[in-house]
A and B are shown apart, each in its own frame.
Chain A
């Protein structure tokens, strides 16, 4: 799968979009905080393992970066892949 396809696949899932929404609300969250937000704010009754797997897909697409800080692990949003995707068509529009 090319990088663009990975981004589209990652974004195709509503739970993963919710995770990105929450990271946009506050960047740098533990797995616990992400799970809490999905449960309490969105009433998504997902297991921690399921959320962890969604995060792996987002990390694989480059949309989320996992950062270790001592004994903690924080998750950060990276909108870089989204900008590259939209730039692709913006440039085409300009050329024509």
Chain B
């Protein structure tokens, strides 16, 4: 039993379960999943659909934070990626052409990778502090997105593009996309030495370099991966509303992503990282939003409500630690 409680994922999972259970008071069939128009439908499906972009962004953020860095530019990358894809599709004579949509997706993801590499080079090659290096793109990136969309919301009407956030065989497509990305990352970092190398760079970049690890290359890869994840999230967000909103897509998502990583147990100082924790962290944040809406918290109070829950989630494991050290001291 105590080993279960000591597991790092125990408290985040308890918080997630409690959050979901609270909804039952207001809505007894909160967990019910029905089929409407051949598609799965229910509050849990909403959490998966709306939480997938955050989960992806937080996944990339985890690796960046593991290298001892931080990526503030992800929100802007989300906006740019969606803007590029929708801008390209809107210029096509046939918006329902599959090849056009594939090109749009490829262009958006390629651009995201370039932006990530830019962040990585600034941090790893020029030695600019990560918070400053990525702040540049946080500010400029949203401008770039608005430039692409000419400050307007580009609405598209493309069935193939809609699938990214839609349903396939009744299942929401974002769930397998997110699952594959998480699985792929877990495989690459936990079944090869890559994860260990990343943790070593985050633990001590200079020492890692001296033992022959290419710190700079690894960091550039981490920022590139983070931007790629943000790019995919951007496609999901814009596909969800069939439109590119350069002004508000991905706004403040970097803060939610960092929060998800921290709730998941990864230290902001870098070093060890926990992908499973990040996934649960992202689910907690999205469930919180859904809970606020289900419980009918007034608009003016939502921020305070969120803050209180986050404080409790972050304090739960700490309180336990303080108490156990006290018990040890007295015995």
A binds B: no
Q: Which residues on A are within 8 Å of B, measured CB to CB?
A: none
